[in-house]
Amino acid sequence: MAVSNPVAFKPFPVTFWTTVTYIALLVPLIVIHESVPPPPSNPTLDSGLNLTKSWLDLTVISRDYHPFNSRKNDEIHDWLLLELDEIKKRNGANDSSVVVLADNVSNITTANSIFGATSPVGTYFEGTNVIAYIRGKDDPSGRWWEDGTVYSDKIVGKGGVLMNAHYDSVSSGFGATDDGMGCVTLVSLVDYFSRPENQPQRGIVALFNNNEEDGLWGAQAFAHNPLLPFCHTFLNLEGAGAGGRAMLFRSTDAQVTNAYKRTKNPFGTVISSDAFGLGAIRSNTDYIVFDGVFGLRGLDVAFYRPRARYHTNQDDAKHASKASLWHMLSSSLHTMQELSGDTGQTFIGERGDGDRKKVWNGKGTDGVWFDLFGKAFALFNLRTLFAWSLTLLIATPLILLGLTYVLIRKDKYYYFSSRRTAYEGSDLDPVMLGGRRGLVRFPLALVVAGALVVGSAYLITKINPLVIYSNEYTVWAMMISLFYFVFWTIMAGANFVRPSALHRGYAIFWLFTIAWGVLVADTVFEDRFRIAGGYIFVFFHSAAFLASFISLCELFALPTKASFAQRVHDEHEIRDHLAAVPHADDLVSPSRDELDAEDEDDGDDEVESQSPATETTPLVGRGSEETRHTTFATTYRRSILAIVNKTTLNEDAKNLPYAYEQKWSANLPSWVWSIQFLLLGPFFIILAGQNGLTLVSAVSQTGADGSSLLVPYLITAFFSIFLLLPITPFIHRVTHHVPMVLLGVFIATLIYNLAVFPFSEDSRYKIYFQQTIDLDTGTTKVNYAGLQKFVELTIAELPSATGKEIKCATRQGQRPGLVICSYDGSAVPPNVIKSPSNGIPPKKGFSSWLDFNITRSGDETWARFEIDAKDSRSCAIIFEKPISSFVVHSNPPDERFGSIPEGGLTKIKLYRRDWITPWSVDVQWEEDADGVTGIDGRVLCSWDDVNTPGTIPAYDEGVKYAPRWVGLSKYSSGLCEGSKAFKA
């Protein structure tokens, strides 16, 4: 018995292999996406790396809330100093090898925020950074940073590596992953490199900076540290989510990325780096300070999911894992070993910013990078990708056109050929080729199926906009199954009505055309905007080109159109001639050979109708054994017919066309589709699958932040379509079983996505809290920000809001897209300043929380503000009209961070190192057009420490009584803000 071809282009093989391929690739991608590589069984795998010790350190850092404006922040600062000193003692290090510094002198004044501000804001910040310097083998001896030799030629060309994390948390989160894991990783790396056997070749500076959360101020304060000019590269560790894998967020260039490349479990894609560069991601990290302001080259490694726990009380050790900590720790160790051990020419050469007062660090080249299954890491230059893209844009159409020309010359180009005459100059009817059949099916199916998928995104956004918050996979399943079913229905239906052997080829040509058009735009972005995230389109275009090339090469197996037309014409001539031969013995039964030939005929020739009965016709039909009278004519005719039919059947039986497809397609190899699917499918499914999973997870919970509710669904729709493109040229051969199952999946997931409640205890909706107080009048309001529907549900559960009028409105500035609902907070007044006498209501002492004095002489447009606040080291001055300049404690704005805008400033933020030293702020403004020289405004201070219950009772109430599916986060830098008006 003959064995059928297991990869023939027939329903079962196509269904089996395509389904198996998708399952075999998508299941591991999902498993890898949802899991973290396990930590080693030996907690002290490497000398100086102790995972158990690092985990215990994490529990210390994340035990309490420790924002910059809290006493617990000071405790973490002191703990870091003690821990670093203990490491020195334990490793037998002295100041000649390891130096620990408490930087209590670096202050920074800026005239604007380097990111994120909707209006210009001036800031004065006093730093409390902790720094550890580990001397490298190539570093000079002594405390060289104190005598200015850092600027000499002895240091230029060598330098060292900066590794950074911030030790403050937000006021509403314990900071286990943001950025406790980064801090304990740095502590562990200091422990590792301070051991004599692990001394780095180039020096390492470990920066534990403070107050990153309010505006990256600790990193900016490092601008005045003498160790900055020594650093040529950096590794920044951050947490933009609350667990999972530590992702390579972004990188300045390919050379520093190469230091990360060989980590055991790399994870990341250049798409995230491009998203930051294009402004698609609104939050930021210290990376932009080190790269954009200081001119260093380096990497940003961070946790990115889940966002629901980010900046809430679930960012704690309980909801973190040792596996996540180990993933960051192990990748950071390898990266630092590579960066500090590079003694070649990688970081030698003129700086990109041209600053001669800093160590050389050379100029890197833009890179393209992505991981594969979290195990392998691809890295190459962007210029290489651009050259590849440009070559593809020019060469691939020319190659296909050249091959098409050869096929036309050989008379084998069946595409777009509807008919062909058998003989040149003949007036006979042409032979129908059916070469245009299947031309427009693919774009029609793609437009209809794609439109329905995008429409489903709008439908979900309209009915249940946050279902993706905790149900990513049901949204994925709904969109994938919808596209697959609709596309299959159109393509399989069209092929059933009008079968075509060119159906697959036309679909692949359409894929090539679309990919070529996308590649044009992608190449422009690569060249003009240095965007590397389009690498996936380059790979897909390459695959589509090769598949198209194969589709054209298939045609060489076919007969020429002329020979086919002649054969068909000659066959019809013979049959027509024989049908016209006069015969008197039509009633004579055909021979057995003729019967067999007629039974096996494929039905293309019409069957002659039987002669009508006459008076000589027997009443009972003749048996097969009955003897017939024959003549020479009938015998001759039967013999010729048998010869013609048997010859045709013997030829066609070897390779019949599939079903009712064109007869000339009989010689097409049936296995070629498998090569095309291998080119289009596996690698592209991996890239589209893991990028889609990563991006959707990154944005699925950003709707709570005020980001677009539609974007996560559009991204899911795009990748759902993109993921299924490799199967589209072959989908018409898939049996109905898979589409019918997916139809059921679509119906079930659609109903579920429209009806299910979008939040759970594991994926809590994030609502933003702040209490405000007018310290002059004692009026206080409790404010909750979020989507109005869910904010109102939350406020309805709060005892202090019972019977109160709830006012909801949008505000310009922070948290765009969210509604702020407020109510009278007199029932839960804040108690941030302990009353000296029990029984006295807190509001009686509101006015004493903040003191300020304004000095102004006559009609001068200048004034000095002296400001002090109890138990707070964060205040601000808000002006009703712009000021033109300001100086704080004789510190003017640092021009490296931008100058005062032409329109002036309306706000100055103030941060101090201690809790008692008043701020002294000199401001200047312009006289009004109407001659008014005075200025009005408000002085505002914030309080953020809620480690002691009852300090901000409204916040405690929200944490206790809010629904289980709600998590509270800070609205702005202060959980509680109090202000007083002034007139100067």
DSSP single-letter state for residue 824: E
| Those residues with Cβ within 8 angstroms of residue 126's Cβ, 6 or more apart along the chain or in another chain | 107, 221, 911, 912, 913
Which candidate in 75, 86, 146, 212 is catalytic? 212
Query: Among 874, 934, 875, 880, which Cα is nearest to 906's?
Result: 880
| Those residues with Cβ within 8 angstroms of residue 153's Cβ, 6 or more apart along the chain or in another chain | none
Q: For residues 382 and 530, is the Cβ–Cβ distance under 8 A?
A: yes
DSSP 964-976: TTEEEEESSS-SE
What the block records as the tokens of 741 is 């199952």
DSSP single-letter state for residue 293: I
Cβ neighbours around 585 below 10 Å, total = 13
Q: Is residue 369 helix, strand or coil?
A: strand
State yes or no: is 212 an active-site residue: yes
Q: For residues 342 and 200, is the Cβ–Cβ distance under 8 A?
A: no
Query: Among 329, 328, 309, 327, which Cα is nearest to 319's?
Result: 309
Cβ neighbours around 208 below 10 Å, total = 28
Q: For residues 500 and 658, is the Cβ–Cβ distance under 8 A?
A: no
- CA–CA distance from 35 to each of 41, 262, 323, 381, 962 (Å)? 17, 20, 9, 30, 30
What the block records as the tokens of 820 is 């702020």
Burial of residue 352 (number of CB atoms within 10 Å: 0-12, 13-18, 19+): middle
Peptide bond into 851 cis (omega under 30): no
Residue 877 backbone phi and psi in degrees, to 5: -115, 125
What the block records as the tokens of 111 is 């005239």
Cβ neighbours around 858 below 10 Å, total = 5
What the block records as the tokens of 125 is 């910040």
Q: Report the distance separating Cα 531 and Cα 537, nearest Å.
A: 12
With the CA atoms of 23, 28, 34 and 39 taken in that order, what torsion angle do they form, in degrees rounded to the nearest 10? 160
Q: For residues 742 and 727, is the Cβ–Cβ distance under 8 A?
A: no
Q: Report the distance separating Cα 941 and Cα 775, nearest Å.
A: 10
For 45, what's the count of Cα atoms within 13 Å in the CB-facing half-sphere? 11
- CA–CA distance from 270 to each of 312, 334, 335, 366, 722 (Å)? 28, 20, 17, 10, 18
Q: Report the distance separating Cα 866 and Cα 984, nearest Å.
A: 13
Q: Is residue 809 helix, strand or coil?
A: strand
Q: Report the distance separating Cα 441 and Cα 492, nearest Å.
A: 10
Q: Report the distance separating Cα 126 and Cα 109, nearest Å.
A: 9
Residue 820 backbone phi and psi in degrees, to 5: -105, 120
Q: Report the distance separating Cα 329 and Cα 324, nearest Å.
A: 9
Cβ neighbours around 319 below 10 Å, total = 17
* 209 membership: H or E segment, kind and range: strand 204-209
C-alpha 930 chain-centroid distance: 53
Query: Among 914, 897, 869, 974, which Cα is nearest to 221's?
Result: 897
DSSP 63-78: SS---TTSHHHHHHHH
126 DSSP β-pair partners: 107
Q: What residues act catalytically?
A: 212
